[in-house]
Amino acid sequence: MSHAMSHDPSSPPRAPLQLSRAEMQALGDQALAMVIAHHEGIRAQPTTTTMSRAEAAARLYTPLPEAPTPPAELLAQLARDVFPNAFRADHPRFYAFVPSPSNFVSAVGDFLTSGHNVFSGHWLASSGASQIELTVLDWLQRACGLPPEAGGIFVSGGSMANLSAVVVARETRLGSHDPQAVVYYSDQTHSSMSKGLRVLGFGKAQRRMVATDAQFQLSLTALEEAIRTDRANGMRPFCVVANAGTTNTGAVDPLPALADLCAREGLWLHIDGAYGAAAVLHPRGAAALEGLGRADSITLDPHKWLFQPFEIGCLLVRDAQLMQDAFRVEDEDHADYLADITRHIQQDVNFFERGIQLTRSFKALKLWLSLRTFGLAAFRDAIQVGFDVADFAQQWLEASGRWEIVTPSQLGIVTFRWRGAGLDDAAVDALTGRVVDRLRADGYATVMSTLLRGRPALRLCPIHWDATTSEMERTLERLTQFALEESARA
């Protein structure tokens, strides 16, 4: 079999997947140049580009190749056909969903992680990496206000962290699966929560979605009433999930009151701060998130408002021992080939006993490297940008007189709707979707809508560290122009 890289026949034979130093250097240089070009050139790019399935297959499908291809050609194809055809969630004008404003240092961290292929499952395999992970977890635990005995783990993202939190809650409070057990969460809770509960075998009657108030915060009276009714009906309430920044509007549930209620009722309090909890590193965020540190567990996603590339989510638990009790590999599990690992080093942290995965990558590295490189002050400033640009958007929209603010700037999110003089609600709702499509076709920025109390609203989440008020203004001008044109057609 010939090798993809040109091989000097006078040099010794090489192993099947081996590259020479020069080849590694050339390939690395080419990849590095691509990533630098992405970081430097992103602002000039559209925020979203999509191919049809047919076009993508025509460009990219090949059968499993028997023969080699020079990797330089493959990287060139990736640069042409793959990376440009994406939502650029790390673009400073990507305001939809939860953007993922990454940073170059963390991308280097990910390269180092996979380049060294550290197995971060247990101490023996990764004492250095485990200590880095513990260090970063310690930073986040302290920032969230959790006590010294807290612990955590980095996982793929918020969905995994939320699911894992319920496992710890269930094992701690119930000991085993109980068909009468009930989890409570608001109608604004991210869909990953009910999905995770379904995965864990919680039936519909065990997933209690509670109404929110006018501010989209979980209603305490509705929650108390639901708990009372369930207990009267023989159900077993055991866990409340609160939001620390809903995806829809950035609303924060009444955390101190919920912590009081959970303490009174003996319920586990999980706080889903996948989106918003990182803002605790900023004084304004810390004020909005008062009560966060009273949680039994917290989800916080560094791949959202902590500027990390996918994938990195985090689960923090008030008492690390409870995670270890929940995820410990038991004798009955017959992990016989891990016996040497667990026998001698019980005093050490083995991350495979804090979560679901055994084999896991060194996700903590990118966050550690970027926090150490830039320092916390830079991250605080980066979070501030999200607050400022969202505030600016709200003020601009209010001053325009043409838009109605549905929810004000909170934790970096604003939602709004066309006032639509002369248009009824149905026409305004239809126009909202058309305005999104017009902006998508325009390509300057990405803004999407969400449903609030059954009606569409436009939603901005400008949390990129390099978002600017001037680009926000140009985006809002475009939205206004598209809305005017579309309403003239309605």
Ligand X SMILES: Cc1ncc(COP(=O)(O)O)c(C=O)c1O
Build a one-symbol-per-residue string for 71-100: x at contacts with ligand X by CB under 6 A, - elsewhere.
Answer: ---------------------------x--
Build a one-symbol-per-residue string for 160-189: x at contacts with ligand X by CB under 6 A, - elsewhere.
Answer: --x---------------------------
Q: Which of 110, 133, 230, 272 binds ligand X (CB under 6 A)?
A: 272
Nearer to ligand X, 227 or 312 (CB): 312
Rounded distance, CA 164 to CA 170, Å? 10
CA–centroid distance for 373 within its chain? 22
Nearer to ligand X, 109 or 313 (CB): 313
Q: Which of 154, 184, 275, 403 binds ligand X (CB under 6 A)?
A: 275
Build a one-symbol-per-residue string for 132-161: x at contacts with ligand X by CB under 6 A, - elsewhere.
Answer: -------------------------xxx--
Rounded distance, CA 443 to CA 435, Å? 12
Which tokens in the block code for residue 318? 């008030």
Give me the least distance between CB of 285 and ligand X, in Å please.
Answer: 14
Q: Which of 48, 192, 361, 394 binds ligand X (CB under 6 A)?
A: 192
Nearer to ligand X, 254 or 420 (CB): 254
CA–centroid distance for 437 within its chain? 25
Give me the least distance between CB of 159 and ligand X, in Å please.
Answer: 3
Contact 154, 281 (CB under 8 A): no
CB-count burial class (<10 Å; 0-12, 13-18, 19+) for 8? exposed
Q: Which of 93, 122, 170, 190 binds ligand X (CB under 6 A)?
A: 190
Give me the least distance between CB of 94 and ligand X, in Å please.
Answer: 14
Nearer to ligand X, 109 or 273 (CB): 273
Residues 313-372 that bind ligand X (CB under 6 A): 313
User: 3-class SS at 364?
Assistant: helix
Build a one-symbol-per-residue string for 5-34: x at contacts with ligand X by CB under 6 A, - elsewhere.
Answer: ------------------------------
Q: Kindly state the helix (H) or strand (E) to which residue 49 belongs, with its residue range.
A: none
Q: Are strands 297-300 and 313-317 parallel, antiparallel or unpaired?
A: antiparallel
Instruction: Give me the residue label for tokens 């990496």.
Output: 129
Query: Which region among 20-28, 32-40, 269-277, 336-344 touches ligand X (by CB under 6 A)?
Result: 269-277
Contact 436, 423 (CB under 8 A): no
Nearer to ligand X, 162 or 172 (CB): 162
Rounded distance, CA 221 to CA 210, Å? 10
CA nearest neighbour of 135 among 322, 338, 344, 367: 367
Rounded distance, CA 172 to CA 335, Å? 23
* Other CB atoms within 10 A of residue 442 CB: 15
Which tokens in the block code for residue 282? 């900023």
Nearer to ligand X, 316 or 483 (CB): 316
Nearer to ligand X, 133 or 301 (CB): 301
Contact 353, 327 (CB under 8 A): yes
Q: Does 274 bind ligand X (CB under 6 A)?
A: yes
User: CA distances (Å), 130 to each of 81, 86, 161, in order?
Assistant: 38, 34, 18
User: Applying CB under 6 A, what is the total number of residues that bind ligand X?
Assistant: 13
Nearer to ligand X, 301 or 429 (CB): 301
Rounded distance, CA 276 to CA 285, Å? 8
User: CA distances (Å), 391 to each of 92, 154, 461, in order?
Assistant: 16, 31, 11
Half-sphere exposure of 384 (CA within 13 A, CB side): 8
Build a one-symbol-per-residue string for 284-323: x at contacts with ligand X by CB under 6 A, - elsewhere.
Answer: -----------------x-----------x----------
Give me the least distance between CB of 133 and ligand X, in Å please.
Answer: 18
* Other CB atoms within 10 A of residue 92 CB: 22
Nearer to ligand X, 275 or 307 (CB): 275
Nearer to ligand X, 341 or 463 (CB): 463
Give me the least distance between CB of 353 and ligand X, in Å please.
Answer: 22
Rounded distance, CA 280 to CA 376, Å? 12
Nearer to ligand X, 121 or 157 (CB): 157
Contact 390, 412 (CB under 8 A): yes
Give me the least distance between CB of 161 and ligand X, in Å please.
Answer: 8
Give me the least distance between CB of 172 and ligand X, in Å please.
Answer: 21
Query: What is the binding site for ligand X (CB under 6 A)?
Result: 98, 157-159, 162, 190, 192, 247, 272, 274-275, 301, 313
